[in-house]
Structure 1
């Protein structure tokens, strides 16, 4: 359930950083049930990011809609989600299936057993995590209801844009990238007024702080990488154009490699997707390759991965001593490339 929960939460909120509050709970449940914490925690971190391109309110979704609109390609949010959601779920399920038996069971893990022989270590590993004592009261229910209504509103707008959104002189509706921003900002403001929650208390939360730090970091990285790629665009095109034109599926590899360094699906799509369009790659192929925009698990430096490692007090979720032999590599590879393969199948069927 941990992968599905983190994936669904990301779909609802549009950011993988929402997984942080789940990680202590996942650890607590797994260690108390003698389940190797690495299994659900690594998958939760992976799926929290995998769900970004399956979310109708994520920055990646807004970027995709804007990119296709700028290229005069008639691809809407629904056209994207009907491929990314089932393909990412397929990747999630296969990776989760593999994770069920990954590593040794705790009772058969000599390193873990040696560690818990020390009484202090045992208390540290099995000690109770800080429990959430707040009740699910009226304010929480109101905020959740308003938030879900906001998401529902975006989905409805995406389905019937011409009937709901204002049209420009050429008869085209307002861009969904703009709609996403304004609707969710408005919903956030309405929630604050309806629940009378202090704005300062929101800025003190770990999720908000992590999200703002990530936003600033990603903005800088995307700006830098976009500048480098834009200045070297002819050279980059000359390197990949022949191969990608002859074998369109290799575009996914190019996107995967870029994402490993850009550390953002939205930034990767903003930089790489226009290259694919300029190369004349068929639109269905571009959509099928979207899950490959998540590759920043490749180097274990992303905040959600580091958080999973830190919350796992048993030490089973590891960064790896050889850089690439960390807990997220294999499930990440399985999830992403399964999603891409399934995506190719779906674009042919739908």
Structure 2
């Protein structure tokens, strides 16, 4: 069989595994990825690629620390802070809510924290006469920007292990954080003009007359239960660990010098993240007297394990495919990226939409880009992972649609056209353009 036909058939196996994994959902994405790897090895005789061991254990460390914090009430405390910020600025909610969603995802390392903010955003906007679609859709989208700006997200774990040692976590954040903040603001300004005001929206008015939705005056503020004393301090411990990781990433000289494979240098940031996060988890476990059995039952632990398994299976399959098709697939794609660098942003965007996994997309696409583009340019385009909102297949999209009783936040018969499409596209274009500008000026 010719190398070209072999690459095509193996590529079909990869695509089929991803398709079936997305259809299965949950850990199915990772399991189908691992099965696809087995088919490539046993049926096509491919040499096994490298499984993403480092990225996998970074995710395990971070979700462990996050889950302990959640068990101590820390996530609820963070949500209460976000809720107060949003409710203090009701008239500017379309600007404030997306920035809060971004900031809290950045700090927590997971967009799962956004689920708890959805009812707050809906009620605050509706009570104040703001079309709920505007802040709900914008905030859902910008929460994903926080993933590529967070030092402790699963996608960052995958990304860090792919880059050369001289391009550090600090370099990544120098590009992604300011670019994402600008994108949040631009998205909010555009989204503020989307759709009719509630007074002019015929569908909403019909629902209101039919009694299908309460009037704004009848929607009361959500009352949060009293939080335990452990809530705030568990969040402080977790956020302090995040700060330690960022500082050690900024200043190499603060990290101990170690020798690995007879080469001496600063301790790897992969190990830094792992040991700091596991230590923070232990501090919270002991200080807040969290029963260890409760930690594994937390929603963050469940979702984190799903992300880790999905990353492991898909990334291993992708690496196996790419390693065995270097001349046929990787080099031609690298040449396209080299000649048309914008193609990388499109590739990341589309693959993220198809897989709904930022981590798996990162491990699949970034190695190809490293063959021809600088790490700074790649980092500027990396937030194209916002393409995860391309199809309405994510929990936060569905939750936002379901909670909006006014009917303004909606899906349509066309899978790629929904309330999240315009803010997604605006965020994507603006974050990449600003990122490329920063990369050209700073690197």
Query: TM-score with structure 2 length normalisation?
Result: 0.72
Task: Pick from 208, 228, 232 the counterpart of residue 141 of structure 1.
Answer: 232
Task: Pick from 344, 351, 367 the counterpart of residue 258 of structure 1.
Answer: 351
Aligned to 1:157: 248
1:86 matches 2:178 = yes
1:67 matches 2:162 = yes
**Equivalent pairs, count:** 345
Distance 1:309 1:295, change over 3 A: same
Deviates further, 75-84 or 25-34:
25-34
User: What are the Cα deviations for residues 243-268 of structure 1, in whole angstroms up to 9, with x where unaligned?
Assistant: 32222232222222222222222221
CA contact (8 A) 2:310 2:360 kept: no
Task: Pick from 434, 439, 442 the counterpart of residue 342 of structure 1.
Answer: 434
CA contact (8 A) 1:24 1:129 kept: no
1:119 matches 2:211 = yes
CA contact (8 A) 1:20 1:207 kept: no
* Distance in 2 (alpha carbons) for counterparts of 1:45 and 1:242: 35
1:325 to partner: Cα distance: 1.3
Q: Secondary structure of the residue that 1:319 maps to in structure 2?
A: coil
User: What are the Cα deviations for residues 257-309 of structure 1, in whole angstroms up to 9, with x where unaligned?
Assistant: 2222222222212111111112x222322122111133111111122222222
CA contact (8 A) 1:166 1:173 kept: yes
Aligned to 1:179: 272
Aligned to 1:312: 404
Q: Secondary structure of the residue that 1:67 maps to in structure 2?
A: coil
* Distance in 2 (alpha carbons) for counterparts of 1:317 and 1:348: 38
* Distance in 1 (alpha carbons) for counterparts of 2:243 and 2:133: 34
CA contact (8 A) 2:354 2:388 kept: yes
Q: Secondary structure of the residue that 2:148 maps to in structure 1?
A: helix
Distance 1:150 1:100, change over 3 A: same
Aligned to 2:101: 6
Q: Secondary structure of the residue that 1:57 maps to in structure 2?
A: coil
Give the CA RMSD over aligned residues. 2.5
* Distance in 2 (alpha carbons) for counterparts of 1:125 and 1:312: 16
* Distance in 1 (alpha carbons) for counterparts of 2:351 and 2:217: 38
- Unaligned 5+ segments in structure 1 are none
Aligned to 2:17: none
* Distance in 2 (alpha carbons) for counterparts of 1:35 and 1:124: 10
User: What are the Cα deviations for residues 193-226 of structure 1, in whole angstroms up to 9, with x where unaligned?
Assistant: 2122344555555555444445545554445555
Q: Which is higher, the Rg of structure 1 or of structure 2?
A: 2
1:238 to partner: Cα distance: 5.1
1:118 to partner: Cα distance: 2.2
CA contact (8 A) 1:222 1:262 kept: no
Aligned to 2:390: 298
User: What are the Cα deviations for residues 86-131 of structure 1, in whole angstroms up to 9, with x where unaligned?
Assistant: 1111111111110112111111110011011123543799554753
Aligned to 1:321: 413
1:193 matches 2:286 = yes
Aligned to 1:267: 360
* Distance in 2 (alpha carbons) for counterparts of 1:207 and 1:272: 26
CA contact (8 A) 1:124 1:313 kept: no
Aligned to 1:27: 122
* Distance in 1 (alpha carbons) for counterparts of 2:174 and 2:352: 22
* Distance in 2 (alpha carbons) for counterparts of 1:171 and 1:214: 33
* Distance in 2 (alpha carbons) for counterparts of 1:123 and 1:223: 52
